[in-house]
Chains A and B, each alone.
Chain A
Amino acid sequence: MPQDPNSGRRQFLNYILGGGSLTFLASIFYPVLKFLTPPAANDAAVTAVDAGKSDDFPNDSGKIIKFGSKPALVIRDKAGEFKAFIAVCSHLDCTVQYLAKDRVIWCACHNGKYDLNGINISGPPPRPLLPLKVNIQQGTIFISKEA
């Protein structure tokens, strides 16, 4: 069979057309995808917050405070010691609370439990809570990220 004298040219044009279409699509989808990706928040800025007066915390209680964009749980145990954690459950992101009745940190979403050191002890949570450092200066509690 004689070769089509134009076949080389035809193939070349097909490549141009195919490549051009792909580039066209990419030039649409790339910006859209980038647009949908939220810009990184400057979350790292928060390293320490003032959690209020230590006298405001009765023994054996817990309170949620704002730690940047995350909730933090500040606990004062029976002996009067302070502990603090990022209050985000390691399971699926719910906000945990202190359960004085059982002396555990409890997540209502799927009944996950942590001990007062933030270690996961029952239920679905796969990891401990993220601990925070507690400093008390002249009766004011400061909590900060552990170095």
Chain B
Amino acid sequence: MPLKKYYDQAYGWVNERIDVDGIIGFMRHKEVPISTHSIWYYFGGISLFLFLVQVTSGILLLMYYRPGPESSYESLQFLVSKVHFGWLVRDLHSWSANLMVLCVFIHMFSVFFMKSYRKPREMTWMSGMVLLGLCLGFGFSGYLLPWNELSFFATKVGTDMAGSLPAVGDFIVRVIRGGPDVTGATLSRFFGIHVAVLPGIFTLVLAFHLFLLQRQGMSQPLSWDKLPAGEKKTMPFFPNFVLRELMFWMFALAVINALAVFFPWELGVKADPFASAPAGIKPEWYFMFMFQTLKFLPPTIGSIEGELVGLAVFSLGGLLWLTLPLWDRWTGTDAAKARYISWIGVAIVGFIIVMTMIGYALS
């Protein structure tokens, strides 16, 4: 068959120069552990896939979106009502963004509970945490872009929190907002951050995260410590694991498509800086637990503003979480101590779920 011949020729040409066989051989020899927890190994990959969906749909949205207080909302209205499949692209972007955050959280907690962050994978954990932070930055900056009432006030509240920091607070708020208030200047900044700054940094950190993964291979389940070598079952990374992963990707694509079709995102009411905040202001669901916690804080604790105390506690928690692999070493091989850490994780997950539910119940 001539086609096959051309393919072989082209492959041979490239292979001769960069040794593709070598790469494939390397991937075939990479082993992925098979255990009862195997399912969790796929969530990092699914997050990666959703990121690719974000990039693709985001680039498409850029063709029509015009940032500005007089054009953002209008351009999206045009996009969803006039442009062929405009609604689909926008809904895919929103849904896959939300699902990506969810998958990243699942990925993080599965790594946490399987204790895969331990030596030598400390840098993988920390770069993952940076990626999570960037994801949340994507979410926060993207939320404002439709310039509707909800996102306008959510952004006011979110950015004003930085204002409670002593001394530098006002300055930081001004730099984030591009002025003392949330205005078109804020929209320009958020747009630039959302489509240029964050994607650039994210891609670099992601590359590092994946590089570490390739260098070190996947971590083995804890239960394997006691298993004799013969009973440790693995599968080759390529093609077995890759094909399974692809199957999950197809499944994820089907899910976001279905969500986009059956649960489209409302565009809402256009933001008006000279209107009172409407009832029902809420942030994206993944900020809900923080939002709700801050609501429960009294205006002042001692002589300090409640917000500031809340922020300090969340920042400290975040820092401890980020540096987990460094201080978790005190547990050593002591299983009882290690279980403490897991219980802390359970408590955190519980807290997040309960606060999120309360937040929605009360709003």
A interface, CB within 8 angstroms of B? 36-38, 41, 43, 64-66, 69-71, 73, 87, 89, 91-97, 107-111, 120, 124-126
Chain B residues with CB under 8 Å of A95's CB are: 153, 273-277
Residue of B175, B279, B295, B297 touching A38 (CB-CB under 8 A): B175
Chain A residues with CB under 8 Å of B298's CB are: 124
Contact B295 A124 (CB under 8 A): yes
Most chain B CB within 10 A, of A43, A64, A97, A124, is at A124
Contact A94 B281 (CB under 8 A): yes
Q: Shortest distance in angstroms between A32's beta carbon and chain B's nearest beta carbon?
A: 11
**Can you show 12 pairs from A to B with CB atoms below 8 A apart?**
A38-B177, A71-B276, A92-B156, A92-B161, A92-B307, A94-B157, A97-B276, A108-B279, A108-B281, A120-B299, A124-B295, A124-B297
Residue of B280, B295, B306 touching A108 (CB-CB under 8 A): B280
A126 to B163, CA, bound (A): 14
Contact A94 B299 (CB under 8 A): no
Interface class of chain A by DSSP: loop
B interface, CB within 8 angstroms of A? 153, 156-157, 159-161, 163, 171, 174-175, 177-181, 183, 185, 273-281, 294-295, 297-300, 305-307
Chain B residues with CB under 8 Å of A38's CB are: 174-175, 177-179, 185
Chain B residues with CB under 8 Å of A36's CB are: 175
Given contacts A37-B175, A38-B178, are A93 and B276 in contact (CB under 8 A)?
no
Q: Shortest distance in angstroms between B161's beta carbon and chain A's nearest beta carbon?
A: 6
Contact A109 B157 (CB under 8 A): yes
Given contacts A38-B185, A71-B273, A124-B295, are A93 and B160 in contact (CB under 8 A)?
yes
Residue of B179, B273, B295, B300 touching A126 (CB-CB under 8 A): B300
